[in-house]
């Protein structure tokens, strides 16, 4: 203990451990594998940094995020520790000198990107002087069930055995029990000690409200005026970020932030927000990583996020100073329809993948030949091929010559496709749930040490403190239905909400949506609680909810029901299956899915010389990394770049399919090729 405390103070300048850190550090120092799942900002990094020093050797840190890697290395160097990093953004000279320093034992920490483990000779170099500890950061990326799965992360589990006997610590802020189990399996650490802690935030008042999109901007403005700043407003699209950012500038010091802005502009917005010059950032999900601002008072979502994991990370950026803060989610059924539209685009039907698979042979064929035989539109073919490759059904070399892979791809792909919709179902279920918001999130992540009690802060626990919800007294008809619900539970407590609806409302003509709304009113009044449950059927997990009377509910009479205040009823929703939803996509929703500014560019106008120059560069990069060329730049994006002829980073970011990460790695070279072709 004394040694650990001394090391904490002398090496890192910290006077005491945060909750749970000490137990994790001691386990890792003893040489045991560990899985650490704690929220962003809880101090996970120290749990490999301190044990690495205590074990007296080089800690190998595998991280998929270059920006985070750079930040960690800079902070370690600031306190006098020997840290370096190897990733695609560094030159060969740096790579060679850092490799030599590693083999010589001159580094305390070496950070690498996961794809480096696929470079011939690199794992062997690491094995020359085995690390004393292996830290796998953002470990959810290794799991097909993680919200940010990356095929390159599969290399980690394959290479770890030759770097043993070093213990492994896997770290992430967002892993459900399903993902946790997959992480330890993929990394070969089934006996790992598990530390799943700290997901309860005791200072965030969460509020969720169904609201038409047309009302959300004015609601945001009112909340920011009355509920506290600094604030982050998360929006679903870049277009909305720009538009709402401009509107809010009329009343606040506000700015937009999204991946389509030039790096200098993104840096300016982030710096001014951190310094306090800006009060409000209107951002897409591109904003947040590395943003550690302690006094954010409000986080607002103007549309339904795609996953509970992403939502929890984003609201977790509020109130890190421990003071009171608020998280508000505004959503409607249209948000889900938009997510489904993009899901269907990004995850083609298995039949599309199978058409390609059936055309492949054990001997390599060119991608163009296969596409011609399949007779599929180029963009659909490219999306289906990428999924087929990711899930092992196709093998591709850097020149994109294709051969048939494993026949097991179909089941794996379908499971992944269904899981993505399952994540959306979980998020929709959270928005429509009737129980304590914070407790719902805690149970989602499987926190091993939580008390299991309600938060006492959210819109369910204390509805009178809401800042967005408006309420009114119940009508006589509503009181009658609610009394019937309570009576039904007195006869059979704990039944499913579906059974409760059929048993108490079948003769009243009350649709399920309105029933759920009244059920929520009873839950907010403390007369019943609703819990999640599930069962397995034909290999699938069927999730549902049960309703339970509280003590107050057992004793409640007509007067208690009449005193309940209800929020405004939800807007009517058409009964529609996912198949019907696909047919019902409106022109407005279709617009959301269109490419960005380059949509008006006719790619046929791209000069063949520029297209060929970009393809030659792409092939060189693919060969260096030993990955298919489309993983560098797809044909569609490459031709869009050639048609747009970008002259600056901002122009390049305006091309659909080009984001900050790609621009950071390859932007300068792409712009150079475009300039050369224009001479």
Which of these, 641, 620, 622, lies nearest to 630 by C-alpha position? 622
Residue pLDDT, tens place only, 137-190: 999 989 877 767 777 788 898 899 999 999 999 999 888 898 999 999 999 999
d(CA 409, CA 393): 5
Residue 89 has pLDDT above 90, yes or no: no
Map tokens 């791209």 to a residue.
606
Tokens of 584: 């019902």
**363: exposed, middle or buried (Cβ count in 10 Å: 0-12, 13-18, 19+):** exposed
298 touches 228 (CB < 8 A): yes
446 touches 177 (CB < 8 A): yes
pLDDT at site 290? 56
Of 593 and 517, the one with more pLDDT: 517
Which of these, 557, 546, 566, lies nearest to 486 by C-alpha position? 557
**470: exposed, middle or buried (Cβ count in 10 Å: 0-12, 13-18, 19+):** exposed
Residue pLDDT, tens place only, 318-344: 998 889 999 999 999 889 999 999 999
Residue pLDDT, tens place only, 295-304: 999 999 999 9
**614: exposed, middle or buried (Cβ count in 10 Å: 0-12, 13-18, 19+):** buried
d(CA 632, CA 220): 39
Tokens of 657: 């399919």
d(CA 260, CA 153): 27
φ/ψ of residue 509, rounded to 5: 70, 25
Q: What own/partner pairs with CB < 8 Å and gap ≥ 24 does 494-501 have?
A: 494/546, 494/547, 494/548, 495/546, 495/547, 496/533, 496/544, 496/545, 496/546, 496/547, 497/530, 497/544, 497/545, 497/546, 497/547, 498/544, 500/547
Residue 661 has pLDDT above 80, yes or no: no
pLDDT at site 582? 37
Query: Cis before residue 165, ω within 30 degrees of 0?
Result: yes
For 471-567, the fitting CATH number among 2.30.110.10, 3.40.50.720, 1.10.10.10, 3.40.718.10 is 1.10.10.10
Assess whether the region 204-331+437-445 and the region 597-678 belong to the same CATH fold. no
Tokens of 128: 């020359």
Task: Give the model's confidence band at 288: pLDDT under 50 very low, under 70 low, under 90 confident, else very high.
Answer: low
- Per-residue pLDDT averaged across 191-220, rounded? 93
Q: Is 261 left (phi over 0), alpha (psi -120 to 50) or beta?
A: beta
Map tokens 């993902």 to a residue.
179
Residue pLDDT, tens place only, 48-88: 999 999 999 999 999 987 778 888 999 999 999 999 999 87
If DSSP states are collapsed to H, E and C, what string results for 31-69?
A: CCCEEEECCCCCCCCHHHHHHHHHCCCCEEEECCCHHHH
Tokens of 435: 């129980």
- DSSP string for 357-375: HHH--SS-EEHHHHHHHHT
pLDDT at site 604? 55
Domain 204-331+437-445 CATH assignment equals 3.40.50.300: yes
Task: Give the model's confidence band at 289: pLDDT under 50 very low, under 70 low, under 90 confident, else very high.
Answer: low
Sequence spans of domains, the chain: 2-196, 204-331+437-445, 471-567, 597-678
Tokens of 52: 């690495």
Residue pLDDT, tens place only, 585-600: 333 332 233 334 433 3
In angstroms, how far is CA 99 from the centroid of its own chain? Answer: 33
pLDDT > 90 fraction of the chain, expressed in percent and rounded = 51
Which of these, 364, 362, 363, 381, lies nearest to 372 by C-alpha position? 381
Tokens of 186: 């993929």
pLDDT at site 222? 94
d(CA 193, CA 33): 6
Architecture field, domain 2-196: 3-Layer(aba) Sandwich (3.40)
107 touches 99 (CB < 8 A): no
Domain 597-678 CATH assignment equals 1.10.150.80: yes
Give the three-state DSSP class for 21.
Answer: helix
d(CA 315, CA 202): 13
Residue 574 has pLDDT above 60, yes or no: no
pLDDT at site 578? 44
φ/ψ of residue 255, rounded to 5: -155, 155
| CB neighbour list of residue 236: distance below 8 Å, 6 or more residues apart | 284, 302, 303, 335, 338
- Which strand (E) or helix (H) includes residue 671? helix 660-678
- Per-residue pLDDT averaged across 193-198, rounded? 92
Range with lowest mean pLDDT among 31-35, 338-342, 451-455, 579-583: 579-583
Using alpha carbons, list the distances in angstroms from residue 665 to 82, 274, 373: 25, 26, 35
- Per-residue pLDDT averaged across 545-550, rounded? 91
- DSSP letter at 606 equals S
DSSP-assigned beta bridge partners for residue 193: 34
pLDDT at site 145? 79
In angstroms, how far is CA 159 from the centroid of its own chain? Answer: 26
Tokens of 218: 């004015």
Tokens of 198: 């700290």
Give the three-state DSSP class for 537.
Answer: strand
The number of C-alpha atoms within 13 Å of 30 and in the hemisphere containing its C-beta is 11
């Amino acid at each position: 203990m004394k040694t650990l405390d001394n090391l904490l103070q002398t090496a890192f300048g910290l006077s005491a451990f945060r909750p749970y850190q000490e137990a994790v550090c001691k386990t890792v120092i003893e040489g045991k594998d560990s899985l650490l799942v704690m929220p962003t900002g809880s101090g996970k990094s120290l749990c490999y940094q301190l044990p690495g020093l205590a074990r007296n050797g080089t800690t190998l840190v595998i991280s998929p995020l270059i920006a985070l890697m750079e930040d960690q290395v800079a902070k370690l160097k600031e306190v006098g520790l020997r840290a370096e990093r190897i990733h695609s953004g560094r030159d060969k000279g740096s790579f060679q000198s850092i490799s030599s320093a590693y083999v010589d034992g001159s580094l305390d920490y070496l950070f690498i990107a996961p794809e480096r483990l696929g470079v011939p000779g690199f794992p062997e170099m690491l094995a020359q002087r085995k690390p004393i500890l292996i830290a796998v950061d953002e470990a959810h990326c290794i799991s097909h069930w993680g919200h940010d799965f990356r095929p390159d992360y599969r290399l980690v589990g394959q290479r770890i055995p030759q770097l043993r006997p070093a213990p492994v610590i896997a770290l992430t802020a967002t892993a459900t029990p399903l993902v946790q189990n997959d992480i330890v399996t993929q990394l070969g650490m089934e006996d790992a000690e598990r530390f799943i802690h700290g997901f309860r935030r005791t200072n965030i008042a969460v509020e969720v409200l169904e609201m038409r999109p047309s009302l959300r901007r004015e609601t945001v403005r009112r909340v920011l005026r009355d509920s506290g700043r600094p604030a982050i407003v998360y929006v679903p699209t870049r277009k909305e970020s720009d538009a709402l950012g401009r509107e809010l500038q009329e009343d606040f010091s506000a700015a937009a932030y999204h991946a389509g802005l030039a790096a200098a502009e993104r840096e300016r917005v982030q710096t001014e927000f951190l310094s306090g010059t800006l009060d409000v950032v209107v951002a897409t999900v591109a904003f947040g990583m590395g943003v550690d601002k302690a006094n954010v008072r409000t986080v607002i979502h103007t549309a339904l996020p795609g996953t509970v994991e992403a939502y929890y990370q984003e609201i977790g950026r509020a109130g890190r100073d421990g003071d009171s803060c608020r998280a508000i989610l505004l959503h409607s059924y249209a948000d889900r329809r938009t997510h489904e539209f993009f899901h269907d685009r990004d995850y083609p039907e298995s039949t599309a993948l199978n058409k390609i698979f059936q055309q492949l042979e054990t001997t390599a064929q060119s991608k163009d030949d296969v596409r011609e035989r399949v007779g599929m539109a180029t963009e659909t073919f490219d999306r289906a091929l990428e999924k087929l490759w990711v899930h092992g059904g196709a093998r591709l070399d850097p020149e994109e010559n294709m051969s048939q892979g494993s026949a097991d791809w179909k089941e794996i792909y379908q499971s992944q496709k269904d899981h993505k919709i399952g994540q959306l179902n979980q998020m929709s279920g959270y928005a429509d749930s009737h129980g304590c918001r914070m407790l719902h999130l805690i149970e989602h992540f499987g926190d091993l040490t939580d008390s299991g009690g309600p938060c006492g802060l959210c819109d369910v626990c204390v509805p009178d403190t809401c800042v967005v919800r408006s309420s009114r007294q119940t009508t006589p008809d509503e009181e009658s239905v609610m009394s019937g619900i309570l009576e039904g539970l007195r006869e059979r407590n704990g039944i499913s909400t579906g059974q409760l609806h059929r048993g108490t409302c079948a003769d009243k003509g009350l649709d399920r949506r309105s029933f759920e709304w009244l059920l929520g009113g009873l839950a907010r009044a403390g007369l019943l609680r609703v819990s999640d449950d599930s069962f397995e059927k034909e290999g699938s997990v069927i999730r549902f909810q049960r309703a339970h009377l509280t003590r107050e509910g057992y004793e409640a009479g007509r007067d208690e029901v009449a005193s309940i205040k209800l929020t405004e009823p939800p807007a009517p929703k058409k009964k529609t299956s996912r198949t019907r939803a696909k047919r019902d996509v409106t022109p407005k929703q279709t617009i959301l899915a269109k490419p960005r500014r380059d949509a008006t560019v006719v790619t046929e106008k791209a000069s063949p010389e520029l297209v060929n120059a970009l393809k030659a560069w792409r092939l060189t990069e693919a060969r260096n990394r030993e990955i298919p060329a489309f993983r560098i730049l797809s044909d569609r994006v490459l031709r869009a770049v050639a048609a747009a002829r970008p002259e600056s980073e901002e122009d390049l970011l305006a091309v659909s399919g080009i984001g900050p990460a790609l621009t950071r790695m390859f932007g300068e070279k792409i712009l150079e090729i475009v300039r050369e072709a224009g001479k």
